[in-house]
Amino acid sequence: MKAPYFQYHRPSSIGEAVTFLDEYGGGARVIAGGQSLVPMMNMRLWRPLALVDINGIDELARIREDGDRTILGALVRYSEIERLPVIAERLPVLAHIVRYIGDRQVRNRGTIGGSLVQGDPTGEMPLACLVLGATVRVVGPDGVREIPLPELYESSYAATLDVEELLTEVVFPRAPQHFAFTEVTRRHNDFAVVSVLATGDRDADGRWRDVRIGLGGVNDTPVLASGSGAALEGSDLSDDAIRAAAELAVEAIDPPTDIRASAEYRRHLVPIHVRRVLTQLRETPLRDAPLRGDTA
Protein backbone atom coordinates (compact mmCIF):
# COMPACT_ATOMS: atom_id res chain seq x y z
CA MET A 1 0.00 0.00 0.00
CA LYS A 2 1.29 3.42 -0.89
CA ALA A 3 -0.64 5.44 1.69
CA PRO A 4 0.62 5.96 5.24
CA TYR A 5 -0.85 3.92 8.07
CA PHE A 6 -4.39 4.81 9.18
CA GLN A 7 -7.34 3.41 11.14
CA TYR A 8 -10.34 2.34 9.11
CA HIS A 9 -13.99 2.51 10.21
CA ARG A 10 -17.05 1.51 8.25
CA PRO A 11 -20.16 2.82 10.04
CA SER A 12 -23.62 1.75 8.91
CA SER A 13 -25.50 4.86 9.98
CA ILE A 14 -25.07 8.61 9.76
CA GLY A 15 -25.08 8.86 13.54
CA GLU A 16 -22.31 6.32 13.86
CA ALA A 17 -20.24 8.11 11.21
CA VAL A 18 -20.59 11.43 12.99
CA THR A 19 -19.58 9.79 16.27
CA PHE A 20 -16.37 8.51 14.68
CA LEU A 21 -15.62 11.91 13.20
CA ASP A 22 -16.24 13.52 16.57
CA GLU A 23 -13.97 11.06 18.36
CA TYR A 24 -11.01 11.84 16.13
CA GLY A 25 -11.54 15.59 16.55
CA GLY A 26 -10.40 16.48 13.06
CA GLY A 27 -7.94 13.63 12.63
CA ALA A 28 -10.31 11.55 10.52
CA ARG A 29 -11.41 11.96 6.94
CA VAL A 30 -14.57 10.71 5.30
CA ILE A 31 -14.00 8.41 2.35
CA ALA A 32 -16.78 8.07 -0.21
CA GLY A 33 -15.46 7.53 -3.78
CA GLY A 34 -11.89 8.32 -2.78
CA GLN A 35 -11.03 9.93 -6.12
CA SER A 36 -9.29 12.92 -4.54
CA LEU A 37 -8.54 11.58 -1.08
CA VAL A 38 -6.74 8.39 -2.09
CA PRO A 39 -4.26 10.02 -4.50
CA MET A 40 -3.42 12.64 -1.87
CA MET A 41 -2.81 9.88 0.66
CA ASN A 42 -0.80 7.84 -1.82
CA MET A 43 1.42 10.83 -2.46
CA ARG A 44 1.60 11.15 1.33
CA LEU A 45 0.47 14.75 1.16
CA TRP A 46 -2.39 13.88 3.52
CA ARG A 47 -1.90 11.59 6.51
CA PRO A 48 -5.24 11.20 8.27
CA LEU A 49 -5.26 9.14 11.45
CA ALA A 50 -8.44 7.43 10.35
CA LEU A 51 -10.77 6.99 7.42
CA VAL A 52 -14.51 6.85 8.02
CA ASP A 53 -15.90 4.90 5.08
CA ILE A 54 -19.52 5.93 4.47
CA ASN A 55 -20.12 3.48 1.61
CA GLY A 56 -22.07 1.21 3.95
CA ILE A 57 -24.66 3.86 4.80
CA ASP A 58 -27.47 2.98 2.43
CA GLU A 59 -29.60 6.06 2.99
CA LEU A 60 -26.80 8.26 1.63
CA ALA A 61 -27.12 6.61 -1.76
CA ARG A 62 -30.75 7.57 -2.34
CA ILE A 63 -32.28 9.98 -4.83
CA ARG A 64 -35.59 11.51 -3.73
CA GLU A 65 -38.18 13.58 -5.57
CA ASP A 66 -39.94 16.08 -3.37
CA GLY A 67 -42.31 18.27 -5.38
CA ASP A 68 -40.16 20.60 -7.46
CA ARG A 69 -37.15 19.63 -5.43
CA THR A 70 -34.75 16.80 -6.15
CA ILE A 71 -32.61 15.50 -3.32
CA LEU A 72 -29.43 13.55 -3.98
CA GLY A 73 -27.71 11.61 -1.23
CA ALA A 74 -24.00 12.30 -0.76
CA LEU A 75 -23.08 8.85 -2.09
CA VAL A 76 -24.79 9.23 -5.47
CA ARG A 77 -22.09 8.41 -8.01
CA TYR A 78 -21.24 10.49 -11.04
CA SER A 79 -22.05 7.48 -13.22
CA GLU A 80 -25.57 7.37 -11.76
CA ILE A 81 -26.02 11.07 -12.45
CA GLU A 82 -24.82 10.33 -15.96
CA ARG A 83 -27.30 7.58 -16.75
CA LEU A 84 -30.35 7.65 -14.46
CA PRO A 85 -33.53 8.87 -16.21
CA VAL A 86 -34.67 10.76 -13.10
CA ILE A 87 -31.61 13.01 -13.33
CA ALA A 88 -31.94 13.47 -17.09
CA GLU A 89 -35.54 14.50 -16.56
CA ARG A 90 -35.26 16.69 -13.48
CA LEU A 91 -31.66 17.93 -13.48
CA PRO A 92 -30.47 17.76 -17.10
CA VAL A 93 -27.64 20.20 -16.33
CA LEU A 94 -26.07 17.65 -14.00
CA ALA A 95 -26.51 14.82 -16.47
CA HIS A 96 -24.72 16.90 -19.08
CA ILE A 97 -21.93 18.41 -17.02
CA VAL A 98 -20.98 15.14 -15.32
CA ARG A 99 -19.51 13.90 -18.60
CA TYR A 100 -16.79 16.48 -18.24
CA ILE A 101 -15.62 14.93 -14.98
CA GLY A 102 -12.63 12.59 -15.05
CA ASP A 103 -12.97 9.39 -16.99
CA ARG A 104 -15.31 6.42 -16.71
CA GLN A 105 -13.38 4.86 -13.85
CA VAL A 106 -13.46 8.11 -11.91
CA ARG A 107 -17.17 8.53 -12.58
CA ASN A 108 -17.93 5.01 -11.42
CA ARG A 109 -16.44 5.77 -8.02
CA GLY A 110 -16.68 9.51 -7.50
CA THR A 111 -19.66 10.93 -5.61
CA ILE A 112 -21.51 14.22 -5.56
CA GLY A 113 -20.89 14.63 -1.85
CA GLY A 114 -17.18 13.97 -2.18
CA SER A 115 -16.89 16.47 -4.98
CA LEU A 116 -18.66 19.20 -3.00
CA VAL A 117 -16.60 18.69 0.14
CA GLN A 118 -13.37 18.56 -1.87
CA GLY A 119 -14.21 22.03 -3.23
CA ASP A 120 -11.92 22.09 -6.25
CA PRO A 121 -12.33 25.61 -7.67
CA THR A 122 -12.15 24.14 -11.17
CA GLY A 123 -14.65 21.37 -10.39
CA GLU A 124 -17.75 20.93 -12.50
CA MET A 125 -20.01 19.67 -9.71
CA PRO A 126 -19.57 22.62 -7.31
CA LEU A 127 -20.10 24.97 -10.25
CA ALA A 128 -23.30 23.22 -11.34
CA CYS A 129 -24.67 23.11 -7.79
CA LEU A 130 -23.93 26.79 -7.36
CA VAL A 131 -25.69 27.78 -10.56
CA LEU A 132 -28.66 25.50 -9.82
CA GLY A 133 -29.10 27.11 -6.41
CA ALA A 134 -28.51 23.90 -4.46
CA THR A 135 -28.28 23.64 -0.70
CA VAL A 136 -26.33 20.97 1.15
CA ARG A 137 -27.46 19.27 4.33
CA VAL A 138 -24.83 18.38 6.86
CA VAL A 139 -25.18 16.37 10.04
CA GLY A 140 -22.98 16.93 13.07
CA PRO A 141 -23.04 16.14 16.78
CA ASP A 142 -25.38 19.10 17.29
CA GLY A 143 -27.83 18.06 14.58
CA VAL A 144 -28.65 19.01 11.05
CA ARG A 145 -27.92 22.28 9.29
CA GLU A 146 -28.33 23.49 5.74
CA ILE A 147 -25.68 25.42 3.85
CA PRO A 148 -26.53 27.17 0.58
CA LEU A 149 -23.79 26.69 -2.03
CA PRO A 150 -22.60 30.31 -1.97
CA GLU A 151 -21.73 29.79 1.71
CA LEU A 152 -20.14 26.37 1.33
CA TYR A 153 -16.59 27.52 0.62
CA GLU A 154 -14.15 29.73 2.47
CA SER A 155 -11.56 29.40 -0.27
CA SER A 156 -10.15 26.77 -2.60
CA TYR A 157 -10.42 23.22 -1.30
CA ALA A 158 -11.91 24.57 1.92
CA ALA A 159 -15.54 23.76 2.59
CA THR A 160 -17.15 25.36 5.64
CA LEU A 161 -18.10 22.04 7.21
CA ASP A 162 -16.83 21.43 10.71
CA VAL A 163 -14.42 18.53 11.12
CA GLU A 164 -17.04 16.34 12.79
CA GLU A 165 -19.78 17.11 10.27
CA LEU A 166 -20.87 14.83 7.45
CA LEU A 167 -22.42 16.08 4.22
CA THR A 168 -25.50 13.90 3.74
CA GLU A 169 -27.65 15.40 0.99
CA VAL A 170 -27.75 17.93 -1.78
CA VAL A 171 -31.10 19.62 -2.32
CA PHE A 172 -31.87 21.06 -5.74
CA PRO A 173 -34.82 23.38 -6.45
CA ARG A 174 -36.71 23.17 -9.76
CA ALA A 175 -34.22 23.18 -12.61
CA PRO A 176 -34.20 26.03 -15.13
CA GLN A 177 -35.52 25.33 -18.61
CA HIS A 178 -32.37 26.11 -20.52
CA PHE A 179 -28.68 25.68 -20.02
CA ALA A 180 -25.43 25.91 -21.90
CA PHE A 181 -21.95 24.93 -20.78
CA THR A 182 -18.40 25.17 -22.01
CA GLU A 183 -15.09 24.30 -20.49
CA VAL A 184 -11.56 25.21 -21.56
CA THR A 185 -9.08 22.51 -20.64
CA ARG A 186 -5.52 21.68 -21.63
CA ARG A 187 -6.61 18.10 -22.21
CA HIS A 188 -9.85 16.20 -22.50
CA ASN A 189 -11.55 16.25 -19.09
CA ASP A 190 -8.54 17.88 -17.44
CA PHE A 191 -8.95 20.50 -14.72
CA ALA A 192 -10.71 23.52 -16.16
CA VAL A 193 -8.71 26.58 -17.11
CA VAL A 194 -12.04 28.35 -17.37
CA SER A 195 -15.54 26.91 -17.30
CA VAL A 196 -18.81 28.70 -17.90
CA LEU A 197 -22.30 27.44 -17.11
CA ALA A 198 -25.35 29.52 -17.91
CA THR A 199 -28.98 28.71 -17.17
CA GLY A 200 -32.24 30.57 -17.56
CA ASP A 201 -35.93 30.50 -18.31
CA ARG A 202 -37.62 32.09 -21.28
CA ASP A 203 -41.15 33.43 -20.98
CA ALA A 204 -43.89 33.30 -23.58
CA ASP A 205 -42.73 36.61 -25.06
CA GLY A 206 -39.21 35.31 -25.56
CA ARG A 207 -37.87 37.35 -22.64
CA TRP A 208 -35.23 35.72 -20.49
CA ARG A 209 -35.75 35.39 -16.75
CA ASP A 210 -33.36 34.50 -13.96
CA VAL A 211 -30.30 34.04 -16.13
CA ARG A 212 -27.54 32.67 -13.92
CA ILE A 213 -23.95 32.50 -15.08
CA GLY A 214 -21.40 30.49 -13.12
CA LEU A 215 -17.66 30.60 -13.67
CA GLY A 216 -15.14 27.95 -12.68
CA GLY A 217 -11.36 28.07 -12.48
CA VAL A 218 -11.18 31.84 -12.20
CA ASN A 219 -11.39 32.39 -8.47
CA ASP A 220 -10.81 30.56 -5.19
CA THR A 221 -14.25 29.05 -5.56
CA PRO A 222 -16.79 28.77 -8.35
CA VAL A 223 -18.49 32.15 -8.64
CA LEU A 224 -21.72 33.59 -10.00
CA ALA A 225 -21.40 36.47 -12.41
CA SER A 226 -24.36 38.13 -10.74
CA GLY A 227 -23.97 41.46 -12.51
CA SER A 228 -24.08 39.75 -15.89
CA GLY A 229 -27.17 37.79 -14.92
CA ALA A 230 -28.95 40.86 -13.61
CA ALA A 231 -28.16 42.80 -16.78
CA LEU A 232 -29.90 40.13 -18.83
CA GLU A 233 -33.13 40.01 -16.78
CA GLY A 234 -36.01 40.45 -19.21
CA SER A 235 -33.72 40.76 -22.21
CA ASP A 236 -33.96 38.82 -25.46
CA LEU A 237 -30.29 37.84 -25.32
CA SER A 238 -29.55 39.95 -28.34
CA ASP A 239 -25.93 40.04 -29.48
CA ASP A 240 -25.55 43.46 -27.89
CA ALA A 241 -27.08 42.36 -24.59
CA ILE A 242 -24.83 39.32 -24.52
CA ARG A 243 -21.74 41.37 -25.31
CA ALA A 244 -22.49 43.79 -22.49
CA ALA A 245 -23.18 40.99 -20.02
CA ALA A 246 -19.99 39.20 -21.03
CA GLU A 247 -17.90 42.27 -20.30
CA LEU A 248 -19.50 42.54 -16.84
CA ALA A 249 -18.49 38.97 -16.01
CA VAL A 250 -14.88 39.90 -15.33
CA GLU A 251 -16.09 41.77 -12.22
CA ALA A 252 -16.75 38.44 -10.54
CA ILE A 253 -13.32 36.93 -11.10
CA ASP A 254 -9.89 36.97 -9.50
CA PRO A 255 -8.08 34.32 -11.53
CA PRO A 256 -4.95 32.47 -10.49
CA THR A 257 -1.75 31.92 -12.46
CA ASP A 258 -0.67 28.30 -12.56
CA ILE A 259 1.05 25.78 -14.82
CA ARG A 260 -2.00 25.66 -17.10
CA ALA A 261 -2.58 29.34 -17.75
CA SER A 262 -1.81 32.83 -16.52
CA ALA A 263 -4.31 35.04 -14.75
CA GLU A 264 -4.15 37.42 -17.69
CA TYR A 265 -5.11 34.70 -20.15
CA ARG A 266 -7.98 33.51 -17.96
CA ARG A 267 -9.21 37.09 -17.67
CA HIS A 268 -9.06 37.35 -21.45
CA LEU A 269 -11.00 34.11 -21.93
CA VAL A 270 -13.88 34.81 -19.54
CA PRO A 271 -15.84 37.37 -21.61
CA ILE A 272 -15.22 35.41 -24.80
CA HIS A 273 -16.60 32.20 -23.39
CA VAL A 274 -19.43 33.90 -21.50
CA ARG A 275 -20.45 35.43 -24.81
CA ARG A 276 -20.21 32.08 -26.59
CA VAL A 277 -22.14 30.26 -23.89
CA LEU A 278 -24.90 32.88 -23.76
CA THR A 279 -25.19 32.71 -27.54
CA GLN A 280 -25.48 28.95 -27.24
CA LEU A 281 -28.08 29.36 -24.46
CA ARG A 282 -30.16 31.57 -26.70
CA GLU A 283 -30.19 28.89 -29.40
CA THR A 284 -31.28 26.03 -27.10
CA PRO A 285 -34.73 24.65 -27.87
CA LEU A 286 -37.50 25.10 -25.33
CA ARG A 287 -38.00 22.15 -23.03
CA ASP A 288 -41.31 21.16 -21.55
CA ALA A 289 -41.53 23.07 -18.31
CA PRO A 290 -41.87 23.14 -15.42
CA LEU A 291 -40.16 19.85 -14.61
CA ARG A 292 -42.15 17.78 -12.21
CA GLY A 293 -41.89 14.25 -10.94
CA ASP A 294 -45.18 13.25 -12.51
CA THR A 295 -43.95 14.02 -16.01
CA ALA A 296 -41.31 11.31 -15.86
Partner 1 sequence: MTVTEEREVGSPRRRKEDARLITGRTMWTENVVLPGMLHLAILRSPVAHARITHVDTSAARELSGVVDAFSGRDVADIQGGLPCAWPVTEDMVHPDHPPLAVDEVRHVGEPVAVVVARSRAAALDALAAVEVDYEALPVVLDLEAALADGADLVHADKGTNRSYTWVFDSGEAGTGEAVDAALDGAEVVIKRRYRQQRLIPAFMEPRSVVVDPTGDQYTIWSATQIPHILRFLVSAITGTPEHKVRVVAPDVGGGFGGKLQVTPEELIAFVAAKRLGKPVKYTESRSDSLVSAHHGRDMIQDIELAARRDGTITGLRVKLLANMGAYLGLVTPGVPILGAFMYNAIYKIPAYRFECTGVFTNTTFTDAYRGAGRPEATYAIERIMDELAVEVGLDPVEVRRRNWINADEFPYTTVAGLTYDSGDYEAATTRALELLGYDELRREQAQRRDSGDTVQLGIGVSTYTEMCGLAPSRVLGSLRYGAGGWETASIRMLPTGKVEVVTGTSPHGQGHETAWSQIVADQLGVAFDDVEVLHGDTRTSYKGLDTYGSRSLAVGGIALYNACQKVVDKAKPIAAHMLECDPADLEFTGGQFRVRGNPDNGKSLADCALAVFAAHDLPDGVEPTLDADAVYDPVNFSFPHGTHLCAAEVDTQTGRVAIRKYVAVDDIGRVINPLIVEGQVHGGVAQGVAQALFEDAVYDADGNLLSGTFVDYTLPSPADLVDIVTDRTESPAPDHPLGTKGVGEAGTIASTPAVVNAIVDALRPYGVNDIQMPCTPERVWRAAQGGGA
Could you list the residues that contact partner 1 (CB under 8 A)?
1-2, 4-5, 42-44, 184, 186-191, 193, 259-262, 265, 268-269, 272-273
Taking the complex as a whole, how short is the minimal distance between the CB of residue 263 and partner 1, in angstroms?
A: 11
Identify which of residues 137 and 267 has a Cβ nearer to partner 1 in the complex: 267
Minimum CB–partner distance for residue 115 and partner 1 (Å): 16
Minimum separation from the CB atom of position 259 to partner 1 (A):
5
17 touches 60 (CB < 8 A): no
Our CB check for partner 1 shows the closer of 43 and 296 to be 43
Run of H or E residues at 283: helix 263-283
Helix or strand or coil: residue 142?
coil
Report strand pairing: 7-9 vs 50-53: parallel
How many CA atoms lie within 13 Å of 132's alpha carbon, on the beta-carbon side? 31
Nearer to partner 1, 7 or 12 (CB): 7
Q: Which is nearer to partner 1, 103 or 294 (CB)?
A: 103
Show Cβ contacts of residue 295 under 8 Å, excluding neighbours closer than 6 positions: 89, 288
- Per DSSP, 187 falls in state S
- Nearest CA to 76 among 26, 120, 27, 129? 129
Q: Tell the smallest beta-carbon distance from residue 104 to partner 1 (Å).
A: 12
Minimum gap (Å) between residue 245 Cβ and partner 1: 17
CB of 272 to partner 1, least distance (A): 5
Question: Residue 207 or residue 268: which is nearer to partner 1 going by CB?
Answer: 268
Closest distance to partner 1 from the beta carbon of 249 (Å): 15
Contacts of residue 211, defined as CB under 8 A and 6 or more positions apart, other chains included, come to: 198, 199, 200, 228, 229, 232, 233, 237, 245, 278, 281
Nearer to partner 1 by Cβ, of 244 and 272: the residue is 272
Beta strands, E only, 54-163? 63-66, 69-73, 135-140, 143-148, 153-155, 158-159
All residues at 6 or more sequence positions from 262 whose CB lies less than 8 Å from its CB, including other chains: none
Residue 45 CB partners (closer than 8 Å, separation 6+)? none
Q: Which is nearer to partner 1, 20 or 78 (CB)?
A: 78
